[in-house]
Amino acid sequence: MKHKHTVRAKAIFIVEEKKYKIVHFGQDRYAISDLEGKVVDNANNYGYKTSRSAYLAMNYKFLGGKQKSDSRKKQLKYWLNSNPANKKIADEFQEQLEWNFKELSRDEISLDDIWKSLEDTHGIEIPTFVKKQIMK
């Protein structure tokens, strides 16, 4: 049984000199196609459930999402291994999260407060990418 797919463009995205768009694929599914209408990715013929998930897949596949993610992980690993004190700071951050769980959930303190206290204690400025990556 063949399914008929209506194709309606949601938006056009330019990636590395090529133009892609998110299109309707079937009843309530989405796919990524080029401007000529050729389907480039449709989640192994299942289609993406939402246009947002199709957009995220396109971003990951065509805009280097995986390479960026791997690069951030390498940066964090380098930072942690570059100085033994850095690993200690990361461990202390985890301990502070556990100790201050109730205060964090009640918004009595914030993650920035914990980072600031660690920076003051150790006398260093912790890079922003480290703060973001450790939380993942």
Q: Global pTM?
A: 0.51
- 3-state SS of the chain is CCCCCCCCEEEEEEECCEEEEEEEECCCEEEEEECCCCEEECCCCCCECCHHHHHHHHHHHHCCHHHHHHHHHHHHHHHHHHCHHHHHHHHHHHHHHHHCHHHHHCCCCCHHHHHHHHHHHHCCCCCHHHHHHHCC
Q: Are residues 13 and 32 both part of a single domain?
A: yes
Q: Are residues 113 and 77 both part of a single domain?
A: yes
The pLDDT score that the predictor gives to residue 130 is 87
**Is 2 a member of any domain?**
no
Residue 20 has pLDDT above 70, yes or no: yes
**Is 1 a member of any domain?**
no
| Structural domain for 18, as ranges | 9-63
Q: Are residues 56 and 92 both part of a single domain?
A: no
Residues 116-129: pLDDT tens digits? 999 999 998 998 88
The pLDDT score that the predictor gives to residue 2 is 45
State the chain's mean pLDDT as an integer: 82
Decide which of 25 and 45 is more confident. 45
